[in-house]
Every structure is written in structure tokens, then in C-alpha cells.
A = this chain, B = another copy of it.
Amino acid sequence: MTSSYGSIFKIQTFGESHGPGVGVVIDGCPPRLPISLDEIQRDLDRRRPGQSSIVTQRDEKDDVEILSGWRNGVTLGSPLALLVRNEDHESGAYDHLENVYRPSHADYTTDQKYGIRAHEGGGRSSARETIGRVAAGAVARKLLHHTANIEVLAWVQQVHGISASYDIDKISITDVEADPTRCPDPDTAAVITEAIEKARKDGDSLGGVIQCRVRNTPSGLGDPVFSKLEAELAKTMMSLPASKGFDIGSGFNGVTMTGREHNDAFELDPHGNIHTVTNNSGGIQGGISNGENIYFRVAFKPTATISSSQRTVDTEGNEVHLEAKGRHDPCVLPRAVPMVEAMACLALCDALLRQATVDYLSID
């Protein structure tokens, strides 16, 4: 629990937003996986602040250092420790937050839980905490791709009331990265950009929905009871800052279908392989992947940090008004896309390696 995830491919993250650094230790990555520093940095760069005009303008380079477990471009089988130093220490910017609870932030609950709190930048509840996840996710992504050609791709589907339309089977990473919004539909991306810019000017913020699709998942991944593959995906997605909902396949929309409409009939493809005619299951049946594409949605609330004046209380129990300072994302979704992908990669990678133990008696 706490700051670790996974049963075989286990990650342990650490770091406050304004301490010396943040990072992750991956324990259980198989040896001899080829992976470069660039492959890890690439996902961190997609996550970092200051990428475009619609995200926070803090300038953090987030250069990653591999401390252990890696040599000459391959993993050693020992723990992979990855460290990103914190650089942009403007802790003075947080002085006004030391004694006040920001609405819908973790300030109050952190105090209630621990009786102590690193107020600068949110401490452990800062979005910087996700750096360790994204770095570990890049390693998991490589393992998935290297061993099974599995591809995990997420994108912004909706911001506030603005929804994108696209051919889901054709979306590529190029489409997603083509626009700073990470919405693969250029027309919608433009409208979203405008809405985000407007929210920022208004001292307000926006939420939305990210969609994720996993291609080439082999059948048989996931456990039938508590660690159903969708349960692990749900946990990992709902562990991301600001996420409020998760659904898979037909999801919440499927409740108005009948069983006859919803069931995914099996058929044989021209090669004699078993497939489903429809995919309301979202690629998972009984908690176990069936070989179809996995797809799911994650709902994100509007960013809690806004620059408008808000009513709140301070740590002494006085009612006060707060005007947040600092540079914040008016909409977290563009930067949440690599986080969603990272967590999906981690859940899948762990399931893939667990399956090696289930398959043990099949190996000749």
C-alpha cells in the first residue's frame, strides 16, 4: 500500500515537490531488457510543465538519472532506481499557503492524516509525485512492447463539454502528439485550446475525459477475483491526482443496454482464430483479457487550484479567503495523458509477468 504498486514488477515512488528530488525504484524488472535513458526521458518530457501555452508555465526540465540496475543500455535484474532532482525551488511562492487549507486540495486531509505537512507545492500530493510513475511506466511500456508488441495509447477525448470525434481504430501517437491538447481531432483541439485559455484568463479551470486503448494484448492476462485486469486498471487510474471516475468497455453507457444487445458474440476470423463480433466487454471478460483491444475512460475534475478568490478556513480554525498564487494548469488533461498511459503500462506489465508463473507448467 502507501507508495508502492505491483506484485512482481513492483514500484516504490518517493519525493515531495519541494524537497531535493522525486523518483522511483522498480524491483522485479527482468534482466536484459534493452532500454535507453532517452526512452525514459521521452515520457517525462510529455509529462513535464512548460511544454506549451495551455499548461503550467513553470520551467522544470525533469532530467532523469539512472542510479542503479542498468548498465550499457540493458537492465541487470536488480532494482532500477530513477531520480529526478527538483530544480525550480520557489518555495517562497507557497508561504501564503502554510496556514490555510486550499479547497478540494489535500492540505486539510494531509494534516488530519499525518499531523504534519510539507505545505510547499503540496508536498507528496503534488503532481510532481507522478514523475516516478511516468518514469517507471516508460520501463514497463518498453517491456510490453519488447516482449508482446503491446501498445498503450491515451488521448484527450473531452474537455468540459467539448467532445472529440475520431476513428478510434486509426489513432496513433503521432495524432495525439500533434497538438498540445493531446486531442487527436484537430478541430476539437482548437476549440479545447480556446476554452482552456479562457478558463485561465477567468481564474478558473476545466476537467474532462481521457480515453485509453491497449492494442495487441494477448489473451489470458489478469486474475479472476480481486485483481481482475479492469480492477487493477481502475485502481491505477483512480490513484492519479484529480481523477474521479473510471469505466471500461460499454461502462456507464452500457447500463441501458439489454443482455441481448450487450453480449459480445464469439466468431472465427478468416484464420480460424476466436474473436468477438462486438467489444462491449472492452477486451476483458471475467477479469481476464480476451485478446480484443482494451479500452477505458478516466474522468478528471477541473483543477482545484484556481486564481479566483475562494472561501476556506486556516489551520487555526478561522474562516478566511484565499487567492492562490503561482503558476498552475488550468486543465490537467494534456499532461495527464502520459500519466494514464504510464499507469496502464504498469498494471499490464505486472499482469504479464504474473502470467509467467501461471504458465509455468506449460513451458517445455
Contact = CB atoms under 8 A, between A and B. Distances in A.
A249 B254 CA distance: 20
Interface residues of A, number: 160
Given A79-B13, A246-B238, A288-B112, A19 B67 contact: yes
A214 interface: no
Interface stretch (A4-12, A39-47, A49-57, A186-194): A4-12
B16 A78 contact: yes
A314 to B, nearest CB: 9
Interface in A47-88: 65-71, 74, 76-81, 83
Interface in A313-333: 313, 317, 319
A270 interface: no
Contacts of A350: 1
B67 A357 contact: no
A224 B106 contact: yes
Contacts of A357: 8, 28, 30, 353-354, 356-357
B16 A106 contact: no
Contact of A104 (B16, B234, B281): B281
A68 B259 contact: no
A66 B14 CA distance: 11
Contacts of A209: 252, 255
Contacts of A265: 103, 310-312
B25 A14 contact: yes
Interface stretch (A167-175, A199-207, A334-342): A199-207
Given A25-B25, A114-B31, A301-B254, A263 B310 contact: yes
A156 to B, nearest CB: 11
Given A244-B249, A299-B255, A104 B262 contact: yes
A165 interface: no
10 contacts: A19-B67, A77-B358, A106-B287, A207-B257, A231-B238, A244-B254, A246-B247, A254-B301, A262-B302, A357-B357
Nearest to A69: B14
Contacts of A305: 259
Given A113-B221, A160-B255, A207-B257, 18 more contacts: A3-B78, A13-B79, A14-B79, A15-B79, A83-B83, A103-B263, A109-B290, A112-B288, A124-B224, A209-B252, A225-B239, A234-B235, A235-B235, A238-B246, A245-B248, A247-B299, A265-B310, A357-B357
Contacts of A112: 219-220, 288, 290-291
Contact of A20 (B68, B103, B312): B68
A265 B222 CA distance: 40
The 3 lowest CB-CB distance pairs between A and B, nearest first, are A106-B286, A245-B247, A205-B259
A178 interface: no
A37 interface: no
